[in-house]
Amino acid sequence: MTRRLAWLALGLVVIGALVYGVTDRSTATAHERAQKLGQTIMCPACSGESVADSQAPVAVFIRHQIADMVAKGESDEQIRDSLTAAYGDRIILNPPKSGVAGLVWVLPVAVLVAALAGLVVVFRRWRTPLDAHVTPDDVDAVERARRAEGS
Amino acid sequence: MKRPAVWVTAGIAVVIALLVVVLATRKPATDRLVKSPLVGKDAPAISTTTIDGSSRYALADQQGKWVLVNFFATWCVPCQREHSELVQFANAHAATNDAAVVSVVFSDEVSNVVSYFKQRGGGWPVVRDDNGAIATAWGVARVPESYLVAPNGLVVIKITGGVTDDFLEQQIARLESAK
């Protein structure tokens, strides 16, 4: 019973930590929000740079648009949707959470769950007592070995 | 010792030959049709002042004719190269009024654009896009980029790297016949 409670407590702590970790608790200013969003948008004229890091004219324009939309109160999702409508999904540096690309997010969690389940199965097997009995032949063999050692 | 040298030379020759073949068979830098999420959708609105600031331009007013929306800058060499082709295209349709050009300034000074058009000709509307709102709504990454808008207001093709008059006429003829 105590052991079960301990596992339950551990599970709650892990879930709590995960929820705490993924929740955005920041009270960012409009500028900070635009900057953060810019880091997730790829500069379409550069190779692998975000619009926040690039000085290409198009990156400057996109930064300006992001700032404008943030000032108008549009959500991050709306801003991303507006940019992907014009530039396509490739402009988003973070992979989308749906479709085939969504596997990038799902697979690590699935692997982790499978690994934990595997560990649980292995630990249970280790704790299960072996179904072995001592036969008279075994007793005789041990006796013979002892006598052989003593002589 | 001679044999390895021969093989190395032959290998380098083969690589160079392959490179030449690949480069020679690639599409030219101009008239390159590229994918765009806008193709098949309503053209994003353009409603702004022309570079001289004296009049307004609205793309919506152009319905019923083909419109080439051209993003350019005076500092861009391929834009300079395509300009005479745009002049040719605009002049060819001036009388029939079935196709038009509108140029959108991309990261450039108005004074440069005014003298550029004075030197190279072109009497079509040229609009400002100081904060890049038009360019980003159209998904422009670098100039020159052009979008052909059909008479019904849908974007039908996106072209990067400059256009030619012949190519535009071919595309319009193809799209007209596909109706």
Tokens 């992907």 -> residue: A84
**Is B153 part of a structural domain of the chain?**
yes
Residue B7, min C-alpha distance to chain A (Å): 37
- Tell me which residue of B122, B125, B107, B121 sits closest to B49, measured CA to CA: B125
> Tokens representing A60?
């400057």
Tokens 């190519």 -> residue: B167
pLDDT of residue B28: 55
Task: Give the whole-angstrom CA distance, residue B112 versus residue B105.
Answer: 10
pTM surpassing 0.80? no
**Is B132 part of a structural domain of the chain?**
yes
Count, residues in chain B: 179
**Tens digit of pLDDT per residue, chain A (151 long)?**
677 888 888 888 888 877 776 665 556 789 999 999 999 999 999 988 999 999 999 999 999 999 999 999 999 999 999 999 999 999 999 766 666 767 777 888 999 999 999 999 998 888 766 677 888 999 999 999 999 988 6
**Is B105 part of a structural domain of the chain?**
yes
**Is B112 part of a structural domain of the chain?**
yes
**Is B166 part of a structural domain of the chain?**
yes
**Is B106 part of a structural domain of the chain?**
yes
Task: Reply yes or no on whether the pLDDT at B160 is more than 90.
Answer: yes
Residue B49, min C-alpha distance to chain A (Å): 18
> Residue by residue, what is the 3-state secondary structure of chain A?
CHHHHHHHHHHHHHHHHHHHHHCCCCCCCHHHHHHHHHCCEECCCCCCCECCCCCCHHHHHHHHHHHHHHHCCCCHHHHHHHHHHHHCHHHECCCCCCCHHHHHHHHHHHHHHHHHHHHHHHHHHHHCCCCCCCCHHHHHHHHHHHHHHHC
**Is B4 part of a structural domain of the chain?**
no
For B164-173, the pLDDT digits (tens) are 999 999 999 9
Whether this model's ipTM surpasses 0.90 comes out as no
Domain residues for the domain of B89 are 47-178
CATH classification of the domain holding B74? 3.40.30.10
Q: Which of B107, B131, B138 lies at the smallest CB-CB distance from A86?
A: B138
Give the CA distances from residue A71 to residues A27, A29, A65, B2, B80, in Å, rounded to whole numbers and listed in that order.
Answer: 15, 10, 10, 72, 37
CA A1 to chain centroid, in Å, comes to 31
Residue of B nearest to A58 (CA): B141
Number of domains in chain B: 1
**Is B27 part of a structural domain of the chain?**
no
**Residues 6+ positions from A132 with CB-CB distance below 8 Å:** none
Residues of B in contact with A88 (CB under 8 A): 35-37, 139
Q: Which of B133, B137, B142 lies at the smallest CB-CB distance from A58?
A: B142
